[in-house]
Structure 1
């Protein structure tokens, strides 16, 4: 990712990626009861594909980092990410698309169009973003991209998900919602780090 594109991310580290060092989370290997509970959650949420989350997103590539307010709307196979950061001079960074392709706005030379959103992000920003997996991970589910390893917290909910080279660390859950949904997520695949703090979930 070049420095021009990273200017809009300049506020993140004070908000928590580097400065925040949460206490060690509980990491329990899943027993039969925990794995059955997780499988039931996954079955319940597998059909939930129309939702919106609002929150804060922060990223770091090990040298540069920043944050912005995020709105992510998923309508079946169609999606829209809008990340608003002050270093974009008030402009919105927007990624939208579906099976027919993707459009990336708010970057130099944009809007950009491509057949694949992940390839578009790589070309425009230099980041390899597992967008297909994120759609599952953000709900606390294993993606269907390959083998996954789970560890659980004392509450029986996932504490750590390792898949596709990423470690997805669930720090907090909305347990008032059934089934529960994550509200604080750290994800890392060196040198990349991502933090998502969900302020609200809207399921439609």
Structure 2
């Protein structure tokens, strides 16, 4: 039960404990041979999930970095302490937690759920953050009056684009960026919903 409440407990832990885990050094490097251009997003997240019959919730900020198929996701508590670092590459995935050995797997979703009680669909988010379905996988998309995705269903998730922001300076004309994304896992698995509010960003 304590493991399912890991992030919530970290957010309210004693200051001296938080100071000891304020940073996490990623143990997995990005794979070579991917696109050299890097994109970054920052913002806030809130996750609500059920585990062992209990409703849980956690919130904080995130930093997302992608380079081709390489992705790194940092989750940070409201007090500014790094709670977890997720690294996903074509060769595998790693979850780094404070004061624990790295956890490795072919993909990261199961790692997150086992350790933290909830998972983020990292492989899908690589495209969903750009307002598009992941290539090569079945998806259904509805669009708003401006032709932007309104609801996207893919990989067992429903993704709702609640708000949009103006394109970054230098971006392609009409390339609007999501501002708020609500995601909910479909099917018979334990309920899980995630809200992302993305900061405005400048073109890298």
| TM value normalised by structure 2 | 0.70
Instruction: Decide whether the 8 Å contact of 1:72 with 1:80 is kept in 2.
Output: yes
Which residue matches 2:49?
A: 61
Of 50, 53, 57, which residue of structure 1 is paired with 2:38? 50
Find out whether 1:3 has 2:1 as its counterpart: no
Where 2:199 maps in the other structure, the secondary structure is: strand
Which residue matches 1:16?
A: none
Which residue matches 2:180?
A: 184
Once the two structures are TM-superposed, the CA of residue 124 in structure 1 deviates from its matched residue by: 2.4
Within a 5 Å distance, the mapping from 1:9-20 to structure 2 comes to: none
Moved more, 106-115 or 76-85: 106-115
Give the Cα separation in 1 of the matches to 2:137 and 2:156. 11
* Aligned residues between the structures: 168
Counterparts in 2 of 1:67 and 1:192: CA distance versus 1, 3 Å: same
Where 2:133 maps in the other structure, the secondary structure is: coil
Find out whether 1:149 has 2:137 as its counterpart: no
Larger % of helix: which?
1
Once the two structures are TM-superposed, the CA of residue 108 in structure 1 deviates from its matched residue by: 6.6
Instruction: Decide whether the 8 Å contact of 1:10 with 1:64 is kept in 2.
Output: no
CA-atom RMSD, angstroms? 2.9
* Larger RCO, structure (CA 8 Å, separation 6 or more): 1
